[in-house]
Amino acid sequence: MRTLKPLFVLIFFAVLSLGYSQKIYTDKDIQIIPKPNQLLIQSGTFEFSKNTVFVANTDFQKDISTALISKFQIAAGFSPVLGTKAPQRNFIQFKVDPAFHKEAYKLEVINNSITVTANGNAGFIYGLETIRQLLPVAIESKYAITSEKWQIPNVTITDEPRFKWRGLMLDLSRHFFDKNYIMETIDRLAMHKMNVLHLHLVDDQGWRIEIKKYPKLTEVGAWRVDQENVSWNARLTTNPDEKGTYGGFFTQEELKEIVKYAATKNIEVIPEIEMPAHVSSAIASYPELACFDQRIGVPSGGLWPITDIYCAGKETTFEFLQNVIDEVITIFPSKYIHIGGDEATKTNWEKCPHCQKRMKDNGLKNVHELQSYFVKRMEKYINSKGKKVIGWDEILEGGLAPEATVMSWRGTKGGVEATEQGHDVIMTPESHCYFNFYQGPQNEEPLAFDAYTPLSKVYEFDPVVPTMTPQEASHVLGGQANLWAEHLAGPKDSEYMIFPRLAALSEVLWSSKDSRNWNDFTTRLAPMLKRYDYLGINYAKSAYLVTASSSADLAKKQINVTLKNEFPNPDIRYVLGDKNIDQNALKYTNPIQFNGTTVLKASLFQNEKPVGKTFTDTIIFHKAVGHKVNYLTPFNDNYKGDGPFTLANTIRGSKNFHDGQWQAWLVNDMEVVVDLGTQESIEQVIVGTLESQGSGVNFPVKIKVLISNDGIKYQEVGKISRPYAANVTSELKDFKINFAKINTRFVKVIAVNLKKSPKGESSWLFVDEILVN
């Protein structure tokens, strides 16, 4: 009996405290991104207080414990204790188990104690990051929140990543981000259990790493003439004698600090030293690195094609690069050095006597084989230093270097090819991993690269291609987001492009494929966004935006507009006419019917309040609405719009020509006939078009309107010409053709395609609506 007594007392108090304040946790309360592999919730909780002891027995454990303790000091207003011995209760301890995989961890919260088990530091970091996400989001607060209860549920979490490479690339050349921002980015990567930071340190528009043997690389190459207030592709070519004032670089000491800090977060920093192209900054510093010793300035903006590249014939080029690599490897302990290799236009190599001699001496059949020689030679050198080489997928052309790892960016094709050859790959296809692309309706977004990768698309990414054999798939190290910085003006822009897409990517790369579930992810994203709010991250709210599509009821002359949002079961509300979106807005359930010109505003609601930007569209009724459009020249299969009804559906396209409202013709003219059904009196035709020359999309050069009553014999009633003009922006334009009022049934509209751009590219013609008035 006597031995039972303490147990009885214990149970009594346990029951008492349960009745008091115990929150009962369910799966829904655990909102961790990336989703852990296995999670078991038990009854009971662990509460953090000033008495909680972090039992840390190595310097590393002390450092990571201190990082979490300091969050309590700031957000909770109390300081848990850092100790070396576990007390009776309320402590966190670390346990080493060599049987665990490198980044795996087990988190057990039970009996008023927390145990993080891992094989080493990486797992311990992730265990603590998981505790952070089990805690209320207010743990991220920058001031004390006293009303919060700092408790987490009793759980057992067993977790490890699906892929070992989970990266983000920052382009420091096109925009120079300072050390502070890089350190912050490291923290944020760790919060998402990402483990690679790839620094793009060299590109045409700036050399960003101190190389002691070649001081001009940073005296000259790190600075460009300041045209930051002009959009990237409109910046003018600069004279080599003009002094550069925009730029900067990292000293070797600063880079070592970054590397050291990253290591405390299990993040490996991979340097990218581009070659043989994307090196105008180096050639501006040392013209002898190019084939013809030409003097050039560091470009301030867009440069295409890239013909100023390193000479592959001169021995001095290799001496230079080997000396650069010698210094790079003293800074970066990473296993890999990225040597670029992308987008080299090799016209100078065709003409250069040094390059030609090199090809002849080595039996190289073409300049692709010369690039392959270049990469193989550099790989051999880098391998001799105990490091491995990564290159963009262009390094496949002309023959892959024997040990190289391929970073596949032009889709996954290069990655597949490399795995077939038994090489490792990192998948970063533009389609899903380029975070410089738009993530929301283009009219509503800050300027970005002219392509579209919304949050849900990132979430659909899979680094393993279904056609790969298990053996090939085993060569897929993982994936990475690349943030090219041409259009970024600072950290806030960078944050906007990275978040929340990084959350989606982190789950793709960490969590098991079976557990991937968009609905579930979006639920867990909400608290993550609150964390971003607390951390002051300027994340994109593009996923909140409402978009529209429409269909027509020809008989009723009615347009039915469907409203959508990226999230599952969104609470969309709308108003018609000149009203604001507020608590009186109507709840959207079914397509909205329109019979006349009306302004439509809509917004996603959360907690009874509109969130994100309001969608606004003026549904303009005109005489073609709901009528049949016959295509005398068919639209391109890739741009079908909303089907054959698109050109008379009242819904206008955005600057994102993938938004489903655009039809397109490649090289061909658009030639369509609108059948008004009966004779109508008309005096104007408006053709809605788009220009985005960077993507090969040009305004029509001429538009003609013809009319007919029998649909056979046509008479021209109006035309306009608009000669090609260079345009660096994306622009929407309505071409209006006015004519004397006339009765007609058939209206033929011909929009003449530019056909070939001045650069010689096939031209696209895009049309979203033909308005007949």
* Chain residues that interact with ligand ACM, rule: CB under 6 A: 342-343, 392, 409
Tokens for 407, please give them. Answer: 């970073």
Q: In the bound complex, what is the minimum distance in angstroms from residue 426's beta carbon to ligand ACM?
A: 12
Three-state DSSP class for residue 4: helix
d(CA 576, CA 598): 7
User: Which of ligand ACM, Zn ion, none interacts with 354 (beta carbon under 5 to 8 A by kind)?
Assistant: Zn ion
CB contact at 8 A, 224 and 205:
yes
Q: Which residues pair with 534 in a beta bridge?
A: none
The site string for Zn ion over 334-363 (x = CB under 5 A, - otherwise) reads ------------------x-xx--------
Our CB check for ligand ACM shows the closer of 52 and 173 to be: 173
Q: Which stretch binds Zn ion (CB under 5 A): 288-296, 319-327, 609-617, 675-683?
A: 288-296
Q: In the bound complex, what is the minimum distance in angstroms from residue 391's beta carbon to ligand ACM?
A: 10
469 Cβ neighbours under 8 A, 6+ residues apart: none
Tokens for 225, please give them. Answer: 């003439």
Our CB check for ligand ACM shows the closer of 274 and 424 to be: 274
Is residue 291 a contact point for Zn ion (CB under 5 A)?
yes
Is residue 288 a contact point for Zn ion (CB under 5 A)?
no
d(CA 585, CA 506): 36
40 Cβ neighbours under 8 A, 6+ residues apart: 155, 156, 157
Three-state DSSP class for residue 184: helix
Greatest pairwise CA separation for the chain in angstroms: 110
599 Cβ neighbours under 8 A, 6+ residues apart: 576, 577, 578, 616, 617, 618, 619
Cis peptide before 34 (omega within 30 of 0): yes
d(CA 109, CA 142): 26
C-beta nearest to ligand ACM: residue: 342
- Which one is catalytic: 343, 369, 403, 680? 343
Tokens for 597, please give them. Answer: 């010109």
Our CB check for ligand ACM shows the closer of 32 and 339 to be: 339
Q: In the bound complex, what is the minimum distance in angstroms from residue 342's beta carbon to ligand ACM?
A: 4
Three-state DSSP class for residue 766: strand
Q: In the bound complex, what is the minimum distance in angstroms from residue 435's beta carbon to ligand ACM?
A: 12
Cα 621 from chain centre: 37
CB contact at 8 A, 167 and 514:
no
d(CA 162, CA 513): 8
User: Which of Zn ion, ligand ACM, none interacts with 409 (beta carbon under 5 to 8 A by kind)?
Assistant: ligand ACM
Identity at 2, one-letter amino acid code: R
Is residue 283 a contact point for Zn ion (CB under 5 A)?
no
d(CA 146, CA 76): 6
User: Which of ligand ACM, Zn ion, none interacts with 291 (beta carbon under 5 to 8 A by kind)?
Assistant: Zn ion
Identity at 537, one-letter amino acid code: I
Our CB check for Zn ion shows the closer of 288 and 571 to be: 288
Q: Which of 297, 313, 478, 626 binds Zn ion (CB under 5 A)?
A: 313
Our CB check for Zn ion shows the closer of 354 and 388 to be: 354
Identity at 45, one-letter amino acid code: T
- Run of H or E including 327: helix 315-331
| 460 catalytically annotated | no
User: Which of ligand ACM, Zn ion, none interacts with 343 (beta carbon under 5 to 8 A by kind)?
Assistant: ligand ACM
Our CB check for ligand ACM shows the closer of 121 and 412 to be: 412
Please report, as ranges, the residues that interact with Zn ion according to CB under 5 A.
291, 311, 313, 352, 354-355
* Catalytic residue annotation: 343
